[in-house]
Chain A
Amino acid sequence: QKEVEQDPGPLSVPEGAIVSLNCTYSNSAFQYFMWYRQYSRKGPELLMYTYSSGNKEDGRFTAQVDKSSKYISLFIRDSQPSDSATYLCAMRDNYGQNFVFGPGTRLSVLP
């Protein structure tokens, strides 16, 4: 079992839909949780981060962490074609600098 799992997709939705992206993980020591967006042939770009459990909202994006279930989510409201990209979750514990990434979910938002 990999340390961080993510449905690779592809996930196709119509423009304006609410998108739900998820990751599960096995290491209960993880405390920092990040979501990155990666366009084709580009480096990942940080979208959201959360420390420990809870929700965080930023514009159309909401990140949720449920540490009891070892499950994190990213919701995108009013999705746009420009949101079409691969979404990566990443996480680490309190002490190390070693970020562990999921394999990414490829999202297509159709106009």
Chain B
Amino acid sequence: GAGVSQTPSNKVTEKGKYVELRCDPISGHTALYWYRQSLGQGPEFLIYFQGTGAADDSGLPNDRFFAVRPEGSVSTLKIQRTERGDSAVYLCASSKTGQGSSYEQYFGPGTRLTVT
């Protein structure tokens, strides 16, 4: 079946602009995660959704970052007033619900964001 898809694959924007990054999880996966990965680093947790609600947003770095998942499927990560330090690969992952299986996160290919 289809895996996690993310669009766009690459996004170049100017400092100060607003961007939206989209994630389509695997069908039937109720848990969805956003991560940010900088060059030479591991993914850094941003936010976790269980269904439509953000169950843990403790990783969002500041209030310029916001994410939604209105129908419990597709999620959008929104970044306002982008800064050069926001440049990174933004990864989305999904998993089945339930603590026993939640370690099985399936990652998308990521969106490479470059802020000039």
Do A97 and B42 have beta carbons less than 8 Å apart? no
Question: In which size bucket is the chain A interface?
Answer: 20 to 34
Contacts of B41 in A (CB 8 A): 103-104
In the complex, the chain A residue whose C-beta lies closest to that of B48 is: A97
Contact of A43 among B31, B44, B99, B108 (CB under 8 A): B108
Given A98-B48, A98-B59, A44 and B102 contact (CB-CB distance below 8 Å)? no
Do A103 and B104 have beta carbons less than 8 Å apart? no
Do B109 and A46 have beta carbons less than 8 Å apart? no
A92 CA to B105 CA in the complex, in Å? Answer: 13
- Check if B4 is an interface residue, CB within 8 A of chain A: yes
A97 CA to B46 CA in the complex, in Å? Answer: 11
Do A101 and B42 have beta carbons less than 8 Å apart? yes
Do A42 and B109 have beta carbons less than 8 Å apart? yes
Q: Which B residues form the contact surface with A (CB < 8 A)?
A: 4, 31, 33, 35, 40-45, 48, 50, 55-56, 58-59, 91, 93, 99, 102-110, 112
Q: Which A residues form the contact surface with B (CB < 8 A)?
A: 4, 6, 8, 32, 34, 41-46, 49, 88, 90, 92, 94, 96-104
**20 pairs from A and B in contact (CB 8 Å cutoff):** A4-B42, A8-B40, A34-B103, A41-B109, A44-B43, A44-B107, A46-B104, A49-B103, A90-B42, A92-B103, A96-B56, A97-B33, A97-B56, A98-B45, A99-B33, A99-B105, A100-B45, A103-B41, A103-B42, A104-B40
